[in-house]
Amino acid sequence: MSDSKLDLLQGTLDLMVLQTLSTMGPNHGYGIARRIEQISGNEVLLNQGTIYASLVRLQQRGWITAEWGTSDNNRKAKFYSITKRGRKQLHDDAAYWQRLSIVMSRVLSMPEEEPNS
Amino acid sequence: MTSRIRQFALRIAAIFRRDSLDCELDAEMRAHLDLAIEENLEAGMTPQQARRQALIRFGGPQQAKEIHRDARGLPFVETFLQDLRFAARLLKKSPGFTVVSVLTLALGIGATTAIFSVVYGVLLRPLPYHNPQQIVRLWEQGATGVRMRFAERNFDDVRAQNRCLSGIAVFDSGLSTVTRHGDATRVQATSVTRDFFDVMGVQPVFGRAFSPDEQRLNASPAGLVSYAYWQQTLGGTRDLSSIRLKLDNHPLSIVGVLPPGFRFPDNSDIWIPREISQETPSRSAHNDQLIGHLRDGLSVDQARADLNTIAQRLKQQYGPGTDMVAVVIEPLRRAMTNDVRPALIVLLVASAFLLLIACANVTNLMLAQAAARERELAVRAVLGAERGRLIRQFLTEAFLLSSIGGVCGVLLAYWGLKGLLALAPANLPRLEDVSINVPVLLFSVLAVALVSIALTLFTALRSTSRDGLNEGSRSGIGTRNKRRMGRLLAAAQLAAALILLVGATLLGRSLLRVLSVNAGFRTQNVATMEIGLPFDAPKADRADFLDRLVTRLRRIPGVDHVGGTNKLPLSDSGFADGSFAPMNPSQISPHVQDLIRRSNSENLANMDPALMSELIAFFDDLFRDKSHLGYADFVVASAGYFPTLGIPLLEGRLFDERDTSDAPHVAVISQSLARQTWPNQDPIGRTIEFGNMDGDLRLLTIVGVVGDVRDHSLESAPPPTVYVDFRQRPQVAWTFTFVMHTSSNPESVFGAARSILHDLDPNIPPRFNTLSQVYSASLEVRRFSLTLIGMFSVIAVLLASAGIYGVISYSVAQRTREIGVRMALGATTREVLIMVLKQSLITGAIGISVGLFGCFALTRLLQSQLFEISPSDPITLCGVSILLLMVSLAACSIPGRRAARIDPATALRCE
């Protein structure tokens, strides 16, 4: 049971990370995790540690890049930023999700059929 | 696509950069926590609260690390490497177990690999010719289904009329005398028809092929030589016209050199055109060996259909003049290896059995090992390890063990192969193609994989069953299952060992029976000297030369009898056999008698064709009615041949001084021929016509009957034989073997015989041997098989006894407490001993019964290798069964006695 939940989260979490980086600009892992939590109205309860698996996946696919830098209060942190390929992927995935959600809501709000009298 | 490759490459890199990546992650996680704590502090929490909340929100760091690792690397590979390291540690911890297992597996894998390399080299490896699978051998098939060599005229017609072969040729190979710079040696020479090299797909690498001028009747011989001969004997000289060679006293001009490695057939060194010799016109003279090349895209079956049509057409055309009703066609590789294939397959199966026994042994060892790790496995299972993961662990351990065993095995095989090849019969075809090469190594890799899977199957499935934790105490029911598995494996080993031992015993008894066969001639203290005479020396000269040689050889001190023959028993040289016509001299008119006389005194080629056809018509008539013809081997011998070889004279007389070339020709026949052709009659004085064998049409009068000789092989019946005197009929004695019976060591006369021959003619090189060596050479294949299977079965029995010893030992150790309880409750030492032995007896009995069943099932495999003994010979089966039963009981007596000596007090105390 736990396996399937993780799978679902893998793809969607990656998408959320890309979106965050696209709108917020370069950020470190903590910042990205906090942002996702805030934006989703704290409805997404994930272990913040799982962000890092998502980040390494996105790195391997070439959709984000990473660089060590210093944060606002002079802490050393690894900063991630979205790449051009990442933006394209984000655009495609977002379009897909939009279409999917429209179709799903249409299907799920289908009224009960009256039997033909 | 490239992104996938890039990702894959990054993942592989991640495996190697494990430590640095882990370090980076640690740094990132620490930074993450620091930032979280800071935020919490700003929100007003206390430092402890801030830290605690941050950790809770982060989640398990260990889990985060694991998910990270899985995402960045190749989890499968990493767990495999992890398992490998664990397995290596385990093996190092128990060196005894490791060494024994590795050695046992090495033995099994090594034996199988060595035998497979022979099987591959001889049976499977493609021949080193162009398109070798399309090269076929052809024979005539007679009405009775027997396969025969081709008659020359039939070959001509098949060549002209076939549509399925791109080329077809005749080859005829034999030892010839080559003289160079006055030195004479025997060289394997083959005469071939014009398409031979196209069929084999070879062209000369230096010089040229035969020209049409060189491939016609009576042309001066031109020759092609093998690369090795050119390099080694001819000095690799590039000016071929400077080479002065004589082949059987004819000048031979060398025109070309063939590619290195080509020596077909029979390791030939010289090839000459067949067309320079006269063709034999008779369609029932089966002299020719045929080889052909199928057209591209045609199968053997299609070719057979085409050739059979031609055969039937010829049969209709020539009727009884030809014996061929169909054509036998077989791919060359099959044809070359038909004789040895059954023996090799038996050896392969035997080595496979040995491997199975070795596996079973190691499985038992691993089971015992696994029992010691029960607790570890139970804990791991409880902590969440899936069964699949644990099985993977076992698989990795088994794989590591098998791989090490496999590498040692291949080394063992490499070393053992040298011994094997030294032991192998010299006439094993394609022996030079046998080596440890890539396909053989692939086979051993496959063996290692199969062994790992087999080992895992038994151990892992047993050990990772859910009731791991329940087996806290050692005497629980679960371990009884394990013990039963162990005993089953021991029984399986006994079964396999029984099969091997029965096979070895049957082969051994076959060999003994062959050895006890009465060969019909004496094999001790006989020296042989083989010489080759020029093909076209005049008859009289040849007879005279041989006669003088016999006379002089008799004078060697130590020699009791001297004789000679053109076909030594049990030797490799082909034999000549055919039909003869018993007839009355009065059946021949004086006119025909005169013709016969003239055909012998004049050169047959110069005789008036009309008269020739009269003669031919007369004899065709005679041989037309097959029902009153006889069939026999035709051998040229001397008077002294029979006493030298100890062949008894049963009736009449042998050849003597009366039998000169002008006197009426005489023959001596073997007993079986007398019984066969003239049952209940006296054959002495009868006459037969056997001129189809050597071209001399004079009738032969039978003057004596001698004992039968197992001429072809010790295992086949003695052939009916007609012996003629070499002074009267020397025509087909191109090679002649002298036999000398000595009072002491036969090799002592070699030197004297050599100088006598040299005095008479220095250009004839002799080959010496002793009859006892010829005799044992004929048993080589049998001895080879027997030695190997004997070795395997001895090892198998040792392994099986070690197996059952181990299992019963282990069982006693496991049941120490139980035995202690029994003894405390009153069981005597005898009763304990009987309990242990009963267990061993049952295991042994099961193993032996399964083994016997297996013997019956596998009898067909061994049938062709046995001689005068049935594969289900009851004495052998009983004897071997009893032997194995006793061996297992003996092996179990040791743990049995140990059990009996258990002190109940200490047994109950130990846990």
Residue B460: is its pLDDT beyond 90?
A: no
pLDDT the model gives residue B204 = 93
For A90, residues 6+ apart whose C-beta sits below 8 A from its C-beta are: A15, A18, A19, A22, A63, A82
Q: What ipTM score was computed for the predicted complex, to two decimals?
A: 0.82
Residue B24 forms contact with A (CB below 8 Å)? yes
What is the pLDDT averaged over residues B705-729? 92
Cα–Cα distance measured from residue B548 to residue B542, given in angstroms and rounded to the nearest whole number: 10
Residue B778: is its pLDDT beyond 80?
A: yes
Q: Give alpha helix (H) positions in B464-589.
A: 477-515, 539-554
Cα–Cα distance measured from residue A88 to residue B819, given in angstroms and rounded to the nearest whole number: 77
pLDDT the model gives residue B259 = 92
A-B contacts at Cβ under 8 angstroms? 80
Q: How many residues are present in chain B?
A: 911
Please judge whether B67 and A56 are an interchain contact, meaning their C-beta atoms are less than 8 angstroms apart: no
Which is higher by pLDDT, B400 or B368?
A: B400
The answer to whether A9 and A53 have CB atoms below 8 angstroms apart is: no
| Range of lowest pLDDT (A27-41, B382-396, B727-741, B819-833) | B382-396
Please judge whether A60 and B28 are an interchain contact, meaning their C-beta atoms are less than 8 angstroms apart: no
Residue A11: is its pLDDT beyond 80?
A: no
Residue B470: is its pLDDT beyond 60?
A: no
Pair B784, B906 in one domain: yes
Residue range B615-637, pLDDT digits in tens: 777 777 777 777 788 889 999 99
* B532 belongs to a structural domain: no
Residue B386 forms contact with A (CB below 8 Å)? no
Residue B854: is its pLDDT beyond 80?
A: yes
Residue range B318-336, pLDDT digits in tens: 887 788 899 999 999 888 8
Pair B869, B795 in one domain: yes
Pair B298, B349 in one domain: no
What is the pLDDT averaged over residues B695-704? 88
Res. A5 pLDDT band, cuts 50 70 90: very low
Please judge whether A49 and B58 are an interchain contact, meaning their C-beta atoms are less than 8 angstroms apart: yes
Please judge whether B57 and A48 are an interchain contact, meaning their C-beta atoms are less than 8 angstroms apart: yes
What is the pLDDT averaged over residues B27-55? 88
Boundary (domain end) residue, out of B35, B50, B73: B73
Nearest to B697 by CA among B592, B589, B621: B592
pLDDT the model gives residue B504 = 92
Q: What is the mean pLDDT of chain A?
A: 82
Res. B463 pLDDT band, cuts 50 70 90: low
pLDDT the model gives residue B473 = 47
Residue of chain A nearest B38, judged by CA positions? A73
Determine the structural domain holding residue B486 and report its residue range: 341-515+780-910
The answer to whether B71 and A11 have CB atoms below 8 angstroms apart is: no
Which is higher by pLDDT, A3 or B720?
A: B720
Residue B27 forms contact with A (CB below 8 Å)? yes
The Cα of B7 is separated from the nearest Cα of chain A by a number of Å equal to: 6
Pair B282, B312 in one domain: yes
Residue B698: is its pLDDT beyond 90?
A: no
The Cα of B106 is separated from the nearest Cα of chain A by a number of Å equal to: 43
Which of A10-13's residues contact partners 24+ apart within 8 Å by CB, and which partners?
A10/A54, A10/A57, A13/A46, A13/A50, A13/A51, A13/A54
Nearest to B28 among A31, A71, A78 (CB): A78
| Range of lowest pLDDT (A71-75, B334-338, B515-519, B758-762) | A71-75
Res. A88 pLDDT band, cuts 50 70 90: very high
Residue of chain B nearest A77, judged by CA positions? B31
Nearest to B520 by CA among B780, B771, B783, B777: B771
Sign of the dihedral defined by the CA atoms of residues B623, B629, B635, B638, in that order? negative
Please judge whether A49 and B59 are an interchain contact, meaning their C-beta atoms are less than 8 angstroms apart: yes
What is the pLDDT averaged over residues B690-711? 89
Q: What is the mean pLDDT of chain B?
A: 86
Q: Can you give the pTM of this predicted structure?
A: 0.80
Q: At what angle do helices B780-814 and B341-372 cross, to 10 degrees?
A: 10
Cα–Cα distance measured from residue B771 to residue B570, given in angstroms and rounded to the nearest whole number: 9
Residue B664 forms contact with A (CB below 8 Å)? no
Angle at B80 between CA B74 and CA B82, to 5 degrees: 100
Phi-psi region for residue B59, left (φ > 0), alpha (ψ -120 to 50) or beta?
A: left
Boundary (domain end) residue, out of B35, B57, B73: B73
Residue of chain A nearest B34, judged by CA positions? A75
Q: How many domains, chain B?
A: 4
Residue B471: is its pLDDT beyond 50?
A: no
Give A-chain residues touching B71 at CB under 8 angstroms.
53-54, 56-57
Q: Rounded to a whole number, what is the distance in angstroms from the first to the last CA of chain B?
A: 62
Pair B511, B477 in one domain: yes
Residue A7: is its pLDDT beyond 70?
A: no
Nearest to B583 by CA among B612, B625, B617: B625
Residue B34 forms contact with A (CB below 8 Å)? yes
SS3 B717: coil
* B884 belongs to a structural domain: yes
Residue B361: is its pLDDT beyond 50?
A: yes
For B734, residues 6+ apart whose C-beta sits below 8 A from its C-beta are: B532, B533, B535, B566
Task: Give the 3-state secondary structure of A56-82.
Answer: HHHHHCCCEEEEEEECCCCCEEEEEEE
What is the pLDDT averaged over residues B744-773? 90
SS3 B138: strand
pLDDT the model gives residue B737 = 93
Pair B372, B441 in one domain: yes
Give B-chain residues touching A31 at CB under 8 angstroms.
35
Give A-chain residues touching B41 at CB under 8 angstroms.
none
The Cα of A68 is separated from the nearest Cα of chain B by a number of Å equal to: 10
Please judge whether A76 and B31 are an interchain contact, meaning their C-beta atoms are less than 8 angstroms apart: yes
Pair B302, B365 in one domain: no
pLDDT the model gives residue B160 = 93
Pair B65, B207 in one domain: no
* B557 belongs to a structural domain: no
- Strand B183-192, strand B270-273: pairing: parallel
pLDDT the model gives residue B328 = 93
The Cα of A55 is separated from the nearest Cα of chain B by a number of Å equal to: 9
Please judge whether A49 and B61 are an interchain contact, meaning their C-beta atoms are less than 8 angstroms apart: yes
Strand stretches in B597-698, DSSP E:
630-637, 649-652, 666-670, 687-689
Residue recorded with tokens 């890049």: A65
Residue B68 forms contact with A (CB below 8 Å)? yes
What is the pLDDT averaged over residues B351-374? 85
pLDDT the model gives residue A3 = 40
pLDDT the model gives residue B13 = 86
Res. B472 pLDDT band, cuts 50 70 90: very low
* B469 belongs to a structural domain: yes
pLDDT above 70 covers a percentage of chain B that reads 96
Q: Of B2, B22, B32, which to mutate for an interface test with A (greatest number of A Cβ within 10 Å)?
A: B32
Res. A43 pLDDT band, cuts 50 70 90: low
Please judge whether A50 and B67 are an interchain contact, meaning their C-beta atoms are less than 8 angstroms apart: yes
Residue B191: is its pLDDT beyond 90?
A: yes
Pair B235, B365 in one domain: no
Q: Of B68, B70, B386, which to mutate for an interface test with A (greatest number of A Cβ within 10 Å)?
A: B68
* B785 belongs to a structural domain: yes
What is the pLDDT averaged over residues A109-117? 71
Boundary (domain end) residue, out of B668, B701, B731: B731
Give B-chain residues touching A76 at CB under 8 angstroms.
27, 31
Tokens encoding B769: 């041997």
pLDDT the model gives residue B512 = 93
For B365, residues 6+ apart whose C-beta sits below 8 A from its C-beta are: B97, B100, B101, B806
Chain Cα centroid distance, residue B901: 52
Nearest to B64 among A52, A62, A75 (CB): A52
Phi-psi region for residue B235, left (φ > 0), alpha (ψ -120 to 50) or beta?
A: left
Residue B37: is its pLDDT beyond 50?
A: yes
What is the pLDDT averaged over residues B32-42? 88
Pair B182, B317 in one domain: yes
pLDDT the model gives residue B468 = 47
Q: Of B2, B22, B67, which to mutate for an interface test with A (greatest number of A Cβ within 10 Å)?
A: B67
Residue of chain A nearest B1, judged by CA positions? A61
The Cα of B346 is separated from the nearest Cα of chain A by a number of Å equal to: 53
pLDDT the model gives residue A4 = 40
* B89 belongs to a structural domain: no
pLDDT the model gives residue B476 = 47
* B867 belongs to a structural domain: yes
Give B-chain residues touching A3 at CB under 8 angstroms.
none
Beta bridge partners of B189: B174, B270
* B236 belongs to a structural domain: yes
Residue recorded with tokens 């049938």: B863
| Range of lowest pLDDT (B235-244, B255-264, B812-821) | B812-821
DSSP label at B468? G
Give A-chain residues touching B61 at CB under 8 angstroms.
49
pLDDT the model gives residue B514 = 92
What is the pLDDT averaged over residues B414-419? 89
| A57-to-B8, B400, B598, B613 alpha-carbon distances in Å | 12, 33, 104, 97
Residue B50 forms contact with A (CB below 8 Å)? no
pLDDT the model gives residue B209 = 92
Q: How many residues are present in chain A?
A: 117
Tokens encoding B468: 């791991």
Cα–Cα distance measured from residue B269 to residue B204, given in angstroms and rounded to the nearest whole number: 13
| A85-to-A22, A63, A92, A108, B119 alpha-carbon distances in Å | 12, 6, 11, 34, 58
pLDDT the model gives residue A6 = 43
Pair B199, B267 in one domain: yes
Residue B425: is its pLDDT beyond 80?
A: yes
Residue recorded with tokens 């000789």: B709
Pair B246, B350 in one domain: no
pLDDT the model gives residue B250 = 86
Please judge whether B10 and A73 are an interchain contact, meaning their C-beta atoms are less than 8 angstroms apart: no
pLDDT the model gives residue B97 = 87
Cα–Cα distance measured from residue B479 to residue B475, given in angstroms and rounded to the nearest whole number: 7
Please judge whether B72 and A78 are an interchain contact, meaning their C-beta atoms are less than 8 angstroms apart: no
